[in-house]
C-alpha cells in the first residue's frame, strides 16, 4: 500500500477506529465493535504515557501519529507546565478532529500554549521540529496499525537515532 492509499484508508477509518479504542460509543461500525475488546490496553498505555510525560517535566512535546487527539487532550488537560504541543498524523480527518478537540479544550480551560497539528512525511521533519520547538520529549505510538504514521515501527529506529531529546514509545 503506497502512502496515498494509506492516507485515503485512514481518512475514511480513523474516527471510527479511535472511537472504538477510546470511547464506549455505540455508533461505530460492527467490525470496530468486534475489535474493541482487543484495544482496551490502548487507554491504559495512553494514561501511562501522559503520566510519564507529565512527571518528566516536559514543556514541549512532539506527538507522531497523534490521531484524533486523544493523547493530546489528556496531556493538555493534565500538565500544568506544557507550553508547546505538536501533533502529526497521516490522516487529514484525524488532524481536523484533533484541532477541534484541542481548541475546544483550551477555550474551556482558559489555557494557552502553542499547538501545531499537521499532516506530512515523518522522516524529514521530526528532528527539525523537535529542535525548532526545543522539545523535551518526542512521543511516538507503537500501535499495530498498517502504514503511514500509524506504522511508526518502520521509522522508530531513525527517530530514536536522530531525535535531539528522549523518545517515549507508547
pTM, full prediction: 0.70
Confidence band, pLDDT 50/70/90 cuts, at residue 48: very high
Rounded Cα distance between 146 and 149, Å, is 9
**pLDDT higher for 153 or 159?**
159
Rounded Cα distance between 63 and 169, Å, is 10
Structural domain boundaries of the chain? 3-169
- Contact yes or no for 84/33 (Cβ under 8 A): no
Confidence band, pLDDT 50/70/90 cuts, at residue 25: confident
Q: Which of 73, 75, 114, 81 is nearest to 97 (CA)?
A: 73
Q: Write b or e for each residue in 21-48: b if 16 or more Cβ atoms lie within 10 A of its Cβ, otherwise e.
A: bbeeeeebeeebeeeeeebeebeeebee
CATH number of 3-169: 3.40.50.150
Amino acid at each position: 500500500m503506497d502512502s496515498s492509499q494509506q492516507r485515503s484508508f485512514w481518512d475514511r477509518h480513523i474516527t471510527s477506529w479511535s472511537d472504538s479504542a477510546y470511547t464506549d460509543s455505540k455508533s461505530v461500525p460492527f467490525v470496530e465493535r468486534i475489535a474493541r475488546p482487543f484495544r482496551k490496553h490502548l487507554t491504559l498505555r495512553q494514561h501511562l504515557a501522559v503520566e510519564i510525560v507529565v512527571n518528566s517535566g516536559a514543556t514541549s512535546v512532539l506527538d507522531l501519529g497523534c490521531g484524533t487527539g486523544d493523547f493530546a487532550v489528556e496531556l493538555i488537560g493534565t500538565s500544568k507546565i506544557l507550553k508547546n504541543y505538536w501533533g502529526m498524523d497521516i490522516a487529514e480527518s484525524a488532524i481536523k478532529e484533533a484541532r477541534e478537540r484541542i481548541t475546544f479544550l483550551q477555550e474551556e480551560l482558559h489555557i494557552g500554549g502553542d499547538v501545531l497539528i499537521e499532516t506530512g512525511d515523518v522522516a524529514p521533519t521530526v528532528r527539525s521540529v523537535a529542535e525548532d520547538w526545543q522539545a523535551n520529549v518526542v512521543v511516538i505510538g507503537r500501535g499495530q496499525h498498517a502504514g503511514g504514521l500509524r506504522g511508526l515501527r518502520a521509522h522508530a529506529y531513525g527517530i530514536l537515532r536522530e531525535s535531539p531529546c528522549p523518545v517515549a514509545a507508547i
